[in-house]
A and B are shown apart, each in its own frame.
Chain A
Amino acid sequence: MQRYEKTYVDVTAEMRKDGVCMPRQLYWEEDSTKYDITSVREIRGCAAPHVGGVGQRYTCVINGREKHLYLEELGEKLRWFVEKRIN
């Protein structure tokens, strides 16, 4: 069975005047690379099925591929995380 790990990530985001927070760039620690988020296809409230937690799920396009980025809003902090596959 594919296993996953909740991985918090650094994100550069834009806070728009309509109140929507738009991620623009994601920093991936493993390869110390900043990835541009070229577009956001969908934003919806969603539970992270594999790693637990709830928040806004952003369907982002990074390097031409769709990736889910979650904005977790439980507690005082807002944090971004992804469901990282573990091999």
Chain B
Amino acid sequence: MRTILHSDLNNFYASVECQRRPELRDKPVAVVGDEEARHGIVLAKNYRAKAFGIKTGMVIWEAKQLCSDLVTVGADFFLYLKYSKKVRAVYEEYTDRIEPFGIDECWLDVTESVKLFGSGEEIANRIRCRVRETLGLTVSVGVSWNKIFAKLGSDMKKPDAVTVIDRENYKELVWPLPAEDLLYVGRATKRKLNNVNIKTIGDIARADPRLLHAKLGKWGNYLHVFANGLDQTAVARLGAEQAVKSVGNSLTNYKDMEDNEEVKILLYLLSESVVSRCRDMGIYKVKTVQLHVRDSTLAGYIRQGQLPLPSLLTSEIAQFALHLFTESYNWHAPVRGLGVAVSGFLGNGTEQLSLMRNERKYDRAERLEKAVEHIRKQYGNTKIQRAVVLKDKKLAGTDIKGEHVIRPENFFGK
């Protein structure tokens, strides 16, 4: 049987700020996208702020209405990445099978380390103490025999705690939880499940898989497997290059976007970062562009489409993403976050030249973009920028590529 840990850094951004600035520790603190702007958004908060009912995603003025003494601190992603890497170095002392899930969560497969360091629970406690000692941060760790239950476990006791979910107690601990606590049960899935009177994870586990399949397709089967602790998905091995099928970047903007022009700026920034990463990976051109949209009510959707011709030009990908956006969004609410991903990769020399495109023009545009990238690598990301991006000085200062965190596109790594 495997021993899997899921380690979750508690209130990560806010904890880092309180660690490095001890004077904040006994105050309600929120880390926000933009400190000065009234429409800045709460990205993280400490427990004191949480006690006032402040939630991630709230606009600053809403949060201040709940707690007038709230201390707001501008986010420093660069610093959080550094801390995240240091936490990872602690994990690496115990296993080489570490799979990050965002900047503040990781799965660790310690099956092989048990002989060296003791049981899963003991390793979890060692990690918890080491992170507290070396970084002054707390983690909550779930221990189980599969990734799904380990993740649920890390959510049960917080902060600075370990929860073990084993074969004896899982029905008692996991099954009474609401269905939406399970990975990949979002709002739509929850509604569908509730319609057939499935409310808890236990209900999913005991449901007829055929019913789940009929309601949710293949995801119904996955959820049944998850809820019964039968998930076999491996924890990715450290350093093993994941077979990349798509490259994407997303960003929750520091403020809500109100019109197409603001959306365009962010789409250009995201596309630029995606294109640059693709070039680093040796990708020649891509065929498909995917757009992720999240509005200020936190509802989101995805649109994708094939480029008229394969390309790896920022301008073409950004324009196409903008086209996907304007075709699909009706501005019922401001937009909070956007993501751009590309897939359908072509290597060099695998494509027929097209009569529809002026290849010489494409070639020149590509050379120009590469020259710009070269300047950036040499002198810094903000040294040369597109005019469209300069309309928003704050965003222009964001180094999306540098701040990029690999978030597995999908739990199965497919």
Contacts and interface: CB of A to CB of B under 8 A. Distances in A.
B135 interface: yes
Interface stretch (A12-20, A27-35, A40-48, A58-66): A40-48
Contact of A74 (B79, B89, B137): B79
Contact of A44 (B20, B21, B134): B134
Binding site secondary structure of chain A: loop
Interface residues of B, number: 15
Nearest to B18: A52
A84 interface: no
Given A45-B86, A74-B79, A54 B22 contact: no
A9 interface: no
B327 interface: no
A54 B136 contact: yes
A79 to B, nearest CB: 13
B133 interface: yes
Q: Name B's interface SS.
A: helix
B87 to A, nearest CB: 10
Contacts of B137: 47
Nearest to A46: B134
Contacts of B136: 47-49, 52, 54
Nearest to B20: A52
Interface in B73-115: 79, 82-83, 86, 89
Interface string B14-31: 000001111000000000
Nearest to B83: A54
Interface of B: 19-22, 79, 82-83, 86, 89, 132-137
Interface of A: 44-54, 74-75
